[in-house]
Amino acid sequence: MTTASTVKTEYEAIIGLETHCQLSTNTKIFSNSSTAFGSDPNTNIDPVCMGLPGVLPVLNQKVLEYAVKAGLALNCQIAKYSKFDRKQYFYPDLPKNYQISQYDLPIAEHGWLEIELVDAEGNPIRKRIGITRLHMEEDAGKLVHAGSDRLSGSSYSLVDYNRAGIPLVEIVSEPDLRSGLEAAEYAEELRRIVRYLGVSDGNMEQGSLRCDVNISVRPVGRKEFGTKVEIKNMNSFSAIQRAIDYEIERQIAAIEAGDRIIQETRLWQEGAQCTSSMRVKEGSSDYRYFPEPDLAPIEVSNAQLEQWRSELPELPAQKRHHYESELGLSAYDARVLTEDRSIAEYFETAIASGANPKAAANWITQDIAAHLNKQKLTITQIGLTPTNLADIITRIETGKISNAQAKQKLPDLLSGISPEKAFAGQELITDPSVLEPIIDEVIAANSKELEKYRNGNTNLKGFFVGQVLKKTDKRADPKLTNELVEKKLNA
């Protein structure tokens, strides 16, 4: 959960995001070429995505399913009737010289998602961000500029058509965001949702999730929007936040200096930590949309819609509310556990197997998470099953083993060794008649420490307890050992 921030109190930022999300289908939106990332240039291509004469597109049914599920998860109204359109623009990486997209009849409209922040006092803030529309479209290819030229910086360009025809959904937010922090949180929540659904991997470093930001500022109280500036292709959540915060300050400074804000497209310069002008865009582009004649309109039946709705998982925001209100977890623990669907499912299986929710949360978010980070693993790749984690927690709570024993054996448990085998012969010693002779032996062997303790250095009690634990290979019940050691030291 992140902390809310504000701009100058006399100004207000108006921010909206356009997010392109690549769908995790095996083949492209209108053809059967692979969507695999990292293939050699121009190997995942076919006549359809190359725009060769006489070929016809066919809609990938999985693309429609994933788009509808994303729309449902974003609380959108799903169109019973929608269509594809041709969006005309001319660029070397778009072989047909038009993009097949959706214009006036998108597959989903009028939705929302909830973001979570905290204020300066640590109080939670939940805010709904409107979703204007979600529509399907194909991606373009990729240009690689190379060589060197004194004026332009490159002397030639190479084109890779592997991405041409990759299926996308474009998700357009309402201008409800007011800071870089809110925008970054919105983008993160959007990625959580599509990952939970399994419709996209959301990997920004591979271009699976790309955000364009529209931002303007206006004096507080004014209804009219200021002049909009677009920042293209944000490739990380932190970059989204920093670029917006910079642009807000830049626009406010320009307004206060009497300068005119122009409608333009800007780029975020990571090295310089600033935005720079890419191109002036004084008016809206005329893409000359018209209905795609080679694709039939889309009709989603009630039966199909309800089938896809029934397949939706519980989403991150629902899980966070459930974990906090019903399981008593902190907002932080709920946030960490729901960041990834596999972690949430691991946690839920553990508590369904009898684990105390708070104890399970602590093990997963601390010790297990540290191991995952160090080894660069996911929670599905470890040998410790959620059922065995519940077994370990139960053993600790019933006094059969100590927390220290469990942590000591954790590497073995994570490799897949069962609790029965890991803790065989390791049950805690809880019988005072067994512990007292060991404690007497430790005290007798450390007469100097005993004298110091009785002269006022009571911190040495921990030394004696540690020696007892060492002698019993940490099998001595820690609570009982503390009580008996203190009693004997003070005798």
DSSP annotation string for 75-90: TPEEPSEE--EEEE--
* Average pLDDT rounded to a whole number, residues 134-150: 89
More confident residue, 456 or 342: 342
pTM more than 0.85: yes
pLDDT tens, 26-83?
999 999 999 999 999 999 999 999 999 999 999 999 999 999 999 999 999 999 999 9
The model's pLDDT over 332-357, given as tens digits with 9 standing for 90+, comes to 999 999 999 999 999 999 999 999 99
Amino acid at 290: F
Output the average pLDDT for the chain: 92
Compute the half-sphere exposure of residue 477: CA atoms within 13 Å on the CB side of its CA: 19
pLDDT tens digits, 281-330: 766 678 999 999 999 999 999 999 999 999 999 999 999 999 999 999 99
* Per-residue confidence band for 431, with pLDDT thresholds at 50, 70 and 90: confident
What are the helix (H) ranges across 128-236? Answer: 180-197
Predicted confidence at residue 490, as pLDDT, reads: 87
Q: What are phi and psi of 438, to 5 degrees?
A: -65, -40
d(CA 474, CA 95): 70
pLDDT of residue 454: 87
| Fold of the domain built from segment(s) 432-489 | Arc Repressor Mutant, subunit A (1.10.10)
Half-sphere exposure of 446 (CA within 13 A, CB side): 20
Of residues 119 and 359, the one with the higher pLDDT is 359
Those residues whose C-beta lies under 8 Å from the C-beta of residue 388, and which sit 6 or more positions away, are 413, 418, 419
- Judged by average pLDDT, the poorest of 89-93, 226-230, 389-393 is 89-93
- Determine what percent of the chain is predicted with pLDDT higher than 70: 97
| 478 and 465 Cβ atoms separated by less than 8 Å | yes
Listed residue (241, 252, 182) closest to 217, CA to CA: 252
Sequential DSSP letters for 15-32: EEEEEEEE---SB-SSS-
Q: Where are the domains of the chain?
A: 2-303, 314-422, 432-489
Polymer length in residues for the chain: 491
pLDDT at 7: 52
Check residue 279 and give its pLDDT.
Answer: 86
How far apart, in Å, are the Cα atoms of 32 and each of 57, 282, 329? 10, 40, 46
Amino acid identity at 105: L
- Please tell me the predicted confidence (pLDDT) of residue 150: 62
pLDDT tens digits for 468-480? 988 888 888 888 8
Is the model's pLDDT at 215 over the cut of 90? yes
Tokens 């955000």 sit at which residue? 211
Q: What is the structure's pLDDT at 153?
A: 75
The count of other CB atoms within 10 Å of the CB of residue 354 is: 13
